[in-house]
Amino acid sequence: MGKKQKIREEKNYTQTQIISEFGLPKSFIHSHFPPPKLMKKNRYGVKYPLWTESQVRKALNSPECEKYLRRKQAEAEEQRREQEMRELLDSFSPDSYIARAQKLDRIFILHIGPTNSGKTHDAIEDLKRNLPGTYLGPLRLLALETYDRLNAAGIPCSMITGEEALLTENAQVISSTIELCDFTRHFKTAIIDEAQLIGDPDRGAAWMKALCMVDADVVHVCMAPEAAGYVLDLVRSFGAEYDIVNHQRLAPLAYAGTCHGIRDILPGDALICFSRKSVLSTAAQLESKGFKTSVIYGALPPQARREEVRKYMEGESNVVVATDAIGLGINLPLSRIIFTETSKFDGKQMRQLTVAEVKQIAGRAGRYGLNESGEVLNFGSHDFIGSYLNAQSKTVKGCCIPFPREVLQTDYSLDKLLKTWQNLKKNRLFIREDMQDAIILLSNIKKLARRNNRELVFDLITCPVDTSSLELVSYWTQCATAIIQDKEIPAPYFGVGSLQACELQYRAWDIHHQLLRRIGREEDNTQEREYICKMIAFYMKQNKDQYIRRCKRCGKALEIGYTWGICPDCYEFEQYM
């Protein structure tokens, strides 16, 4: 038999057949297969190559091909596992939490109303009559207010927050931030405050868990009107009994137009800014005109904030300058709220205030029993604040569900679990807890994390840390590394040489405290915190002129609420030149 005849009698493969039958791409065939032994013409006269079966078998048995096929098989397996992981994570929805809620026998009382309408007051009065109980709020200051109020009324109350634990003997009530809700205890009464935050991507998961899982005979849920529809539907899905209490604002609130400058500021006013620099600059300008100010902003430690509140309440200051930190948890006798700015940096971008934010902050004017009415003003000629004050807040249409700890028991890598969760397809009925901060923190201890207890690593990376601060992330990394390696956690090292250093030092102590708590240890660093707060008070009393915003060209002090970096005179001069 001739050689050519033998080739023709062998089974022959076209390029298309090789690709479909053996899963090899065209590029691999061209680079690793021998030249074809036959060429044929199709019906259009176009030649195409044919490889004999022996050629194909030889190429398939080559080390290069075996390596390629193993790699492709591994990639296919990885894709299969990733699809399984996506399906697993996607299976967690509000339904899984609602199912838990249906097993509890609870009565819900839904308090619906705007700021300063007595929602929380009425709920706490019921809690006093039905002990034991728990209060769950968004801020330490709210937990502290309830703690002080109940202990003053002779009801032993403990406070537990991420920053500290104030334990009272024979406590009948636990007042805590909502993330630290105790789901292992049964209470007669539970209060869930500011429940409109259930849809917040950063913290809303804590409200969802509390609504579904807090174990109490009666659960009071206090919320703004925009959340009423969704929370009511959620409670109905539990199959629980409920009652609705509508609250009206106790002191009237009105938009009073434009504030034209410092000459219009009066004792009892609160000026709202949206950055630490703006707060300190505004306070400095007011003090240069004879006002005595209390300043409140997010980075200020809780004790320092409380001291600023005390100064105002006892008449040591007559004007408050604050960020939107005043919107939750700080009740002061304020006659007027004055917005110096209408936009804020939300951690990702500069954006306009929302209707809900304007109403929440504005509602601090005219506290019932302290002021007959409240007024809201803004700097500038536009009526942005006025229009938002009377607008309808965006309705809460969904909840935020937490990252499921159950998946930590799988063999998928923690890094992939978090990133896949973060990139799941959006759902119009709910949002998922934002785990970006945890991903950032994990990337700093990735090598150590691979070889250690996944539950421990997850607890460490979910410690609240401002990941926009390189200093705090670096300190967290040192502490987490020490814990994983079973070494002593380093103390904060930022010092107290300036106001900013004090703020960093205090926040670092918070990280230190929270990480220790996550491994079951409690250390009392009250003295260190108190010293920092004393130093902050010292810096606050110093001449604030250094904080005044000045024109970058001529150095002239810029007016409160003025948003540009150069003064009008310098701008006019530059335009003329």
The predicted-structure confidence for 505-542, as pLDDT tens digits, reads as follows: 989 998 998 899 888 887 878 788 888 888 888 887 77
If one compares 90 and 542, the residue with the highest pLDDT of the two is 90
Closest CA to 24 of 12, 34, 16: 16
The overall average pLDDT reported for the chain is 86
Tell me the mean pLDDT in the region 550-570. 81
- Indicate the fold that domain 94-246 takes in CATH: Rossmann fold (3.40.50)
Q: What is the CATH number of domain 253-395?
A: 3.40.50.300
132-136, 539-543, 547-551: which range is least confident on average? 539-543
Question: What's 315's DSSP letter?
Answer: T
- Which residue has better confidence, 287 or 125? 125
Q: Residue 577 pLDDT > 70, yes or no? A: no
Lowest mean pLDDT among 202-211, 222-231, 347-356, 515-524: 347-356
Residue 162 token pair: 């991420």
Does residue 546 register a pLDDT over 80?
A: no
Q: What is the pLDDT of residue 352?
A: 85
CA Rg value for the chain: 32
Helix (H, G, I), strand (E, B) or coil at 41: strand
**Beta strand 47-52 pairing with 38-41:** antiparallel
Mean pLDDT, range 133-142, rounded to an integer: 89
pLDDT for 8: 53
State residue 329's pLDDT score.
Answer: 61
Task: Detail the DSSP E strand segments found in 224-346.
Answer: 241-246, 253-259, 269-272, 293-296, 319-322, 336-339, 343-345
pLDDT category of residue 111 using cuts at 50, 70 and 90: very high
Q: Using one digit for the tens of pLDDT, what is the confidence trace for 262-273? A: 888 999 899 998
Residue ranges covered by each domain of the chain:
3-90, 94-246, 253-395, 403-541
Beta strands in 250-333, from DSSP E residues, in sequence order: 253-259, 269-272, 293-296, 319-322
Which residues are paired to 400 by β-bridges? 431
CA distance 139 to 394: 23
Give the alpha-carbon dihedral of 490, 494, 495, 496, to 10 degrees.
Answer: -140
94-246 and 253-395 agree in CATH topology: yes
More confident residue, 497 or 220: 220
Please compute the mean of the pLDDT values over residues 6-27 and round it to a whole number: 76
Q: What is the pLDDT of residues 365-407, one digit of tens each?
A: 876 555 567 888 888 766 788 888 888 888 888 889 899 988 9
Helix (H) or strand (E) holding 363: none
Identify the weakest region by mean pLDDT among 54-68, 94-108, 453-467.
Answer: 54-68
Q: What is the pLDDT of residues 42-87, one digit of tens each?
A: 777 778 888 888 888 888 888 888 788 788 778 788 888 889 999 9
Cβ-contact 211, 205 below 8 angstroms: no
